[in-house]
Structure 1
C-alpha cells in the first residue's frame, strides 16, 4: 500500500488539511495518508525543510511526500517532483528541496506540467494530489513533468568556517515545540573542524563549553535530587537529527521558560563556536 505524507503550514483550524486528505482518498482509496506536520510557520521554507528532512528517512522507500509551503504557482515558483533517496517529494521549486538534498544527489527531477489538465485555485489540493496519486499507482515522473537539470537553491543559511579553521559561524534554523533552538551546525562539521579541541559556544551572551549526546547526560544523577542542577539547566546537545541544539532541561515555554525565550534567540540568529589551539 502506497504512503503519502503531508507537510504544510495549513494549521489545524482551517479546512485545508482535511480537504487535501479527502481529495487523495477520492482519487485513490487504498492509499495511506500520514501527517508529518501542519504547524509549520506560514511560508517558512527553512523550518519545513528541517521537519521533512528529519522525518522522511523513517518512512519506507517509495513514500511520496507532499510539501505544501509557499506552493502557489507563479512565473518564479514552478512546481516540481523529485525522486531522492528512494523517496518522492512534490512541492514548489522555492528552495526547499535544496535544503533536503544538501548531501544527497536526486535520482530524477521534473517540472510538473499537468496544470492545463487540472482546474485549480488550490495547488496542493489539485495538482500536488494528482501528481502524488499518479506516482502511488506506479506512474513515472516523466508522464507528469519535463526533465529538470537543476533546482532553486537557498543561500546564506549554511554555516561558515573561517580560513584558520578555528571558528564556525552558524545560525538558528528551527525552534521546536519545547522552545529548543536548533542550529545549522551538524555534528559532522563540528567534529571535522574541531578535531577534539576544546571550544566555547556563544549565542547572545550565553556561553557553553560542552555538547551532550542526550538531554539527561547533562544531569548528575549520582547526587541527591534536591542538590542537583536539573529543571532549568541550560545545555547544548546533538539532537536526533545530529544538529547542535541549545536547550533548557525539561523546558516548558509557558512555565519555566525555554531556550528561545531565556536566551533571546530566534530564526537566523548567530551561534558561534570558537576552537582553542
Structure 2
C-alpha cells in the first residue's frame, strides 16, 4: 500500500483537496492518503517548511509527500521531485527544500519535465499526482524528468550570529493554532553560541531571561490558586527544538495568544543577547 501525504494552502472550503484525492484514488485505488495540513498561509514557504521539517520524519521511509504551496509553474518556479532522508518530495523549486534540508542533503533531485505532455493550470492535480502515483508503482524518477544537482536556496529560516558571538538575530517563522509564536532560533544554535552564559531574549518591547522546557514550568503548584498563572507570558524550547514565545493556557477567544497580546507577527525580529559574565546592570566600575 502506498502512503502519500498532502500539504497545501488550499483550505478545505473549495474543491481542490477533494479533486487531488480523487485523482490519486483513480490512479491507485489502494493508496493511503494523509492530510498533513491544508491551512498553510497562502504562498508561505517558510510556514510550509517548518511544518514539514517537523512532520515528515514521523512517517515511514518511502512515504511520498506532495507539497502544493506556491506551486504555479514558471521560469523562476520549476517543479522538482527528489529523495531526501529516504522520503520522496514532489514540490515547486521555490526555496522550500533548502529549509527542510538544512541538516540532511537530498540524495537525488529531478526536474519534472512532463508538462509538455500534460497541459495544466492546476499542477498539483495534473502533474504532482501523476509523479506521485508513478513513484508509488515503483517507477523511476528518471522517467519524469532530468536529474539535476542543485535546487533553489533560501536562508530565510536561518538566524544570524554577530561577529562577536554575543547576539543571535532571528525572527518569527510560524504562529500556531494557540497564537504561540515560533522563532527560527533553535536550541542547538542557542547552546552553541550561549555556552551557558546569561542571556536576554527581546521581542518588540518584551524581554525574557529564562527559557522553559514545558509550558507548566511557569506554574507554582504549591499556590492556592494555580489559575493565577493563566495568561502569563513565557519563552520555551518547543517540541521541535525552537524558541517559542507563548501565553500559558492561551485561548484565542478569551485570554488571547502571544501573537495578538504581544503584537508579534510573521517575520518580526526576535533576538537573543548573551552576556560574557554578569549582565551590564550588575557590573561595577573600578
TM-score bracket, normalised by the shorter chain, equals: over 0.9
For residues 111-147 of structure 1, what are the alpha-carbon distances to aligned partners after superposition, in whole Å with 9 as ceiling and x for unaligned?
0111122232210001000000011111121111111
Query: Are the structure 2 counterparts of residues 107 and 136 from structure 1 closer, same or farther at C-alpha, using a change threshold of 3 Å?
Result: same
Whether 2:125 is the aligned partner of 1:138: answer no
1:156 CA displacement: 4.0
For residues 96-123 of structure 1, what are the alpha-carbon distances to aligned partners after superposition, in whole Å with 9 as ceiling and x for unaligned?
1111001111111000111122232210
RMSD of the alignment, in Å?
Answer: 1.1
Larger displacement relative to structure 2 (237-246 or 115-124): 115-124
Give the alignment's TM-score, normalised by structure 2.
0.94
**Which has the greater radius of gyration?**
2
Output the CA distance in 2 between the equivalents of 1:135 and 1:157.
30
Secondary structure of residue in 1 paired with 2:178: coil
CA contact (8 A) 2:246 2:257 kept: yes
| Match in the other structure for 1:272 | 271
1:224 CA displacement: 1.9
CA contact (8 A) 2:64 2:89 kept: yes
Q: Gapped runs of 5+ residues in structure 1?
A: none
CA contact (8 A) 2:46 2:156 kept: no
Output the CA distance in 2 between the equivalents of 1:267 and 1:253.
17
Q: Gapped runs of 5+ residues in structure 2?
A: 277-286
| Match in the other structure for 1:49 | 49
| Match in the other structure for 1:172 | 172
| Match in the other structure for 2:246 | 247
Output the CA distance in 2 between the equivalents of 1:90 and 1:141.
11
CA contact (8 A) 2:99 2:155 kept: no
Output the CA distance in 2 between the equivalents of 1:276 and 1:210.
14
The ranges of structure 1 where at least 4 consecutive aligned residues each deviate by more than 4 angstroms after the TM superposition are none
1:229 CA displacement: 4.0
Larger displacement relative to structure 2 (44-53 or 115-124): 115-124
1:144-223 aligned within 5 A: 144-223=144-223
Secondary structure of residue in 2 paired with 1:189: helix
Output the CA distance in 2 between the equivalents of 1:122 and 1:69.
12
